[in-house]
Structure 1
């Protein structure tokens, strides 16, 4: 860590209301967007642990609104947790205010920083160790939906505009095909046909939102296992973290993105698509956990559309990978030739397998 960066970290620490004197800090976690540090402060004999983060304002271009979203949601959750007899210091994120009472600070270079209380005795896992992890993940994100069911989602700012607006993603894709700036369209004619054959279905969820059939909800929009803290003693989901993408959206998209990521039998970028399929046992255990966590807070239309949420999120992700391939791999980081094309084919193979197993997917939702 260079002297300049250390200086900025120290500057941010001095601007935030941490208890005690800073003793040490070190990089923490596996996130790739923000710079995250575990900070230790000491006040006499007592140690205080914190998370210190530099918000990546190139990705999140409106950090002030982003922090307003997080502050609103975590304050709401805190009240719910207290009313239910829970521990508000472990079951939601707690923002450390700046010395002048804000939810963030800016350093002399214009970087945005924030602090959270560190949650001890809990761990985030990058991969599912056993089926119960996936069940706990589903239960946690379902519980998150239930806790925030009464929150006015329309008051939240879209931190990434049209993030899960599948029709908009489709229009961007069509433009990429038409412009073909890298001359790659002829290499992916089969994939382009796959998209266009399903184009009419792409707007199904957003049309239901416009009609009022699906309600606007507070959504997390990054429902991976490693955004849940698992209690080290009980093994149960404790706290949802990484709230940067908290936005107004659809509950079925949070459900669907978890299935896309967690119930695939292969890696997201597996070159051999014969290894790709939807694991119905994992789909079932997540669905069971999610609906148990929701505890009846979803409407019948939302429950009926859960399989479509899984399909749309997988389809949309494949469309985004294919769009980036056509545009020259400018958004998603690649580590080999045709990396985005491999990712595309994996997503589309998963969509195709979901279509084969559609009756089973619907039956599992009905079961729970």
Structure 2
């Protein structure tokens, strides 16, 4: 099979691939990813999973917009976008499979922030990504996943899941349902902000492992995993950083009494995001950032709980109650964020 890939790919790109160099790369769970040697240096080859991203043409459209319009002079890091083939396409179809190449970036990925410096650098980089595309019209980008960060939509989906669930109503489940249904005020605040703020290019998946740091973790070398880039609001990207970096426990933890906000990391995220966004953030956007942390925690709580009620059909789980426990984890984090204001 590999020989068939390489033969076809070598005909469709301006560089040649050394097939014997191919080796699996990274820890991603969506695409098949390989590191390969080519005639112009190392590259990342991905066999794209279009069962997960069912409209790859929207991703390719957004990537081509960025390739043609991104202001690289604004970037202090690399943005390894797909390399177009001889036809100018970022995806290459071979039989029923899609492939793409991206530049290889040296460095290291981490799954957990160890100190405030790393938190600062992460926030600065993700804000810098938004800055680099501030001049591009939000209408230029297609919606890769409709309603991805739409809190109102996710609230309605949760209500529907509650109506249709076949789960037995335990006291634990009842507590979570009541808590999340009572977040109507947060949903209304979301509607207020999106009617007030500008749409911008946003990453929409600002987990720490979507950055490549230098080996000594002193700088960010690249922002990666750009399949979810589309038009959004600055508080989306800041909020997901808060949810995944500033929580004292990871999202799978069931140590309820230990779940809270690491205020030092939270402050570092805010400082870094404000620094990276100082050329574009409006006063209203700055005011919306604390809401972003609460909103992104809440929306994931909605989604985890709805998935549990629907029979665990979306998120990968290791045991039946894991989505229930993820929702409970986010309930405690959201409560801690609400105390902060």
**TM-score, reference length from structure 1:** 0.87
CA distance in 1, matches of 2:42, 2:247: 36
Q: Which residue of 2 aligns with 1:223?
A: 206
Q: Which residue of 1 aligns with 2:129?
A: 144
SS in 2 for 1:126: coil
Query: Which segment drifts farther, 343-352 or 8-17?
Result: 8-17
Rate the CA distance shift 1:265–1:136 in 2: closer, same or farther, 3 A. same
- Cα drift, residue 186 of structure 1: 6.5
What is the RMSD computed on CA atoms of the aligned residues?
A: 2.0
What pairs up with 1:185-224 in 2 under 5 angstroms?
188-209=173-194, 211=195, 213-224=196-207
| Matched residues, number | 340
Is residue 2:31 matched to residue 1:34? yes
Is residue 2:50 matched to residue 1:63? no
Is residue 2:66 matched to residue 1:92? no
Runs of 4+, deviation exceeding 6 Å: none
CA distance in 2, matches of 1:191, 1:146: 38
Q: 1:101 aligns with which of 79, 88, 101?
A: 88
Unaligned runs of 5+ in 2: none
CA distance in 2, matches of 1:234, 1:124: 9
Q: 2:147 aligns with which of 158, 162, 167?
A: 162
Is residue 2:302 matched to residue 1:319? yes
- Cα drift, residue 40 of structure 1: 1.1
- Cα drift, residue 135 of structure 1: 1.1
CA distance in 2, matches of 1:132, 1:10: 42
SS in 1 for 2:33: strand
- Cα drift, residue 235 of structure 1: 2.0
Q: Which residue of 2 aligns with 1:238?
A: 221
- Cα drift, residue 97 of structure 1: 2.1
Query: Which segment drifts farther, 111-120 or 314-323?
Result: 111-120
Q: Which residue of 2 aligns with 1:336?
A: 319
What pairs up with 1:337-352 in 2 under 5 angstroms?
337-352=320-335
Rate the CA distance shift 1:175–1:186 in 2: closer, same or farther, 3 A. farther
CA distance in 2, matches of 1:259, 1:348: 14
Preserved contact between residue 34 and residue 45 of structure 2 (Cα < 8 Å): yes
